[in-house]
Structure 1
Amino acid sequence: MSEVTPPWAYETPEIRPHDPRLLLAAETERARLAELLAPWLADGVEHVGSTAVPGLAAKPVIDLMASVRDPSAVVAQAGDGLAADGWCYVPPELDQRPWRRFFVKPDESGQHRVAHLHLIQAGHPRWAEQLAFRDALRRDGQLAREYADLKRLLAARHVGDREAYSAAKAAFVANALAGHAG
């Protein structure tokens, strides 16, 4: 990342009605990443997050998660290929989430995020948690509606603070995982 902070770095979270085109775009992006990251993949590339749940209101940003043997090696060895494909690396000291390596794909204008790539160490609990939460939302329409309502509330409360918005969802996610375990 350059010294200049890109506009997408502090983009305001905006919750929109479900857009089924994002499911198709995610599948295209997932397949592309599976090809780019093939030498490093352990458990594949998954579409997670709200855009992976049919009918769920979401930010129009596709979240993709790749299980890899060594996230830092992927950054070092595949970083140029990811950059050529439009992905921008967010260094760990900026991301503040030591359990992943993180990339953002902005739109052609460079103003808005269109996708996130979460590189996660194979076997890390976060992998299973992300999949379990996605699957719980897919199975339980009431849970999905409650989550959508919470996201709208938090997006309004945390305008301009994407990190606070994300952090404020943590208790809901933890409760949903506890209620849908097993």
Structure 2
Amino acid sequence: MPADRTPRRPDVTTLDLVGGAEPVRITLHDYDERWPAAFEAHRRRIVEALDPSGGDVQVEHIGSTSVPGLAAKPIVDVVVVVPDITAEEDYLDPLLATGYELRVREPGHRLVRTPERDVHVHVYERGATAVDEYLLLRDHLRADAADRDLYASTKRELLDRPWDDMNDYADAKTEVITAIKERARAARDH
């Protein structure tokens, strides 16, 4: 958010996991050529809901389904950048009106998803570090076969474990993702 613009209200200070923890069985699928088309359909849906003129909405395909050749759980992840995360009436209400369901409200981040749970839309404020981190990882995995293979093998190793919630599975990948992002930053800055 530009320095001259203040949030409409204070952001939330705690995690609200709507519906509570959801035990999940993680399955990986080989890369599916339909994932980019699914992203594009949701990108259009989001842009139409948030900015029908198409002027100022950043919507990006992130996560494993955005990396050709990478096995992934069959959930298309999307990141949406908004001017003010506290102005939920500007983005959350329109997204919910198009059929997405609220799953997570936490400081600096909201997550809505389809009722089928096959698309997760992560909403962040412009300038959020998380957006840059998602794009750094995505772009590096698209370009680096060795790290793409490392990430795929890490995910396969985690498959047989029971997970109380999808967030626990995501947390288990943190160490490998951190190492890959360090190499991505080094390659980008070189």
1:62 is aligned, of 47, 51, 76, to: 76
Task: State whether structure 2 residue 128 is matched by structure 1 residue 80.
Answer: no
Q: Which residue type is aligned with residue 15 of structure 1?
A: L
TM-aligned CA deviation for residue 91 of structure 1: 4.2
Task: State whether structure 2 residue 146 is matched by structure 1 residue 142.
Answer: yes
RMSD value, Cα? 2.3
Q: Unaligned 5+ residue runs, structure 2?
A: 1-17
In 1, the alpha carbon distance for the partners of 2:149 and 2:132 equals 22
8 Å Cα contact 1:43-1:122 kept in structure 2? no
Q: Which residue type is aligned with residue 28 of structure 1?
A: A
* Corresponding residue pairs, total: 168
Aligned sequence identity (%)? 33
Change over 3 Å in CA distance of 1:99–1:154 after alignment to 2 = farther
8 Å Cα contact 2:62-2:134 kept in structure 1? yes
Deviation by residue 1:98-148 (Cα, 9 ceiling, x = unmatched): 2311111122xxxxx110111111111111110000001000112111111
Partner SS for 1:71: coil
Task: From the CA coordinates, give the structure whose radius of gyration is larger.
Answer: 2
TM-aligned CA deviation for residue 20 of structure 1: 0.9
In 2, the alpha carbon distance for the partners of 1:79 and 1:174 equals 30
In 1, the alpha carbon distance for the partners of 2:55 and 2:120 equals 17
TM-aligned CA deviation for residue 66 of structure 1: 0.7
Partner of residue 15, structure 2 = none
**Structure 1 runs (4+) greater than 6 angstroms displaced:** none
1:101 is aligned, of 67, 87, 110, to: 110
Q: Return the TM-score normalized by structure 1.
A: 0.82
Partner SS for 1:120: strand
Q: Which residue type is aligned with residue 103 of structure 1?
A: V
TM-aligned CA deviation for residue 160 of structure 1: 4.4
TM-aligned CA deviation for residue 41 of structure 1: 8.0
In 2, the alpha carbon distance for the partners of 1:20 and 1:61 equals 13
Change over 3 Å in CA distance of 1:17–1:160 after alignment to 2 = farther
Task: State whether structure 2 residue 54 is matched by structure 1 residue 24.
Answer: no
Q: Unaligned 5+ residue runs, structure 1?
A: 108-112
TM-aligned CA deviation for residue 58 of structure 1: 0.3
TM-aligned CA deviation for residue 84 of structure 1: 2.8
In 2, the alpha carbon distance for the partners of 1:180 and 1:87 equals 33
In 1, the alpha carbon distance for the partners of 2:46 and 2:118 equals 15
In 2, the alpha carbon distance for the partners of 1:142 and 1:32 equals 35
Q: Return the TM-score normalized by structure 2.
A: 0.79
Deviation by residue 1:42-64 (Cα, 9 ceiling, x = unmatched): 56000000000011100100000
In 1, the alpha carbon distance for the partners of 2:124 and 2:31 equals 26
Partner SS for 1:82: helix
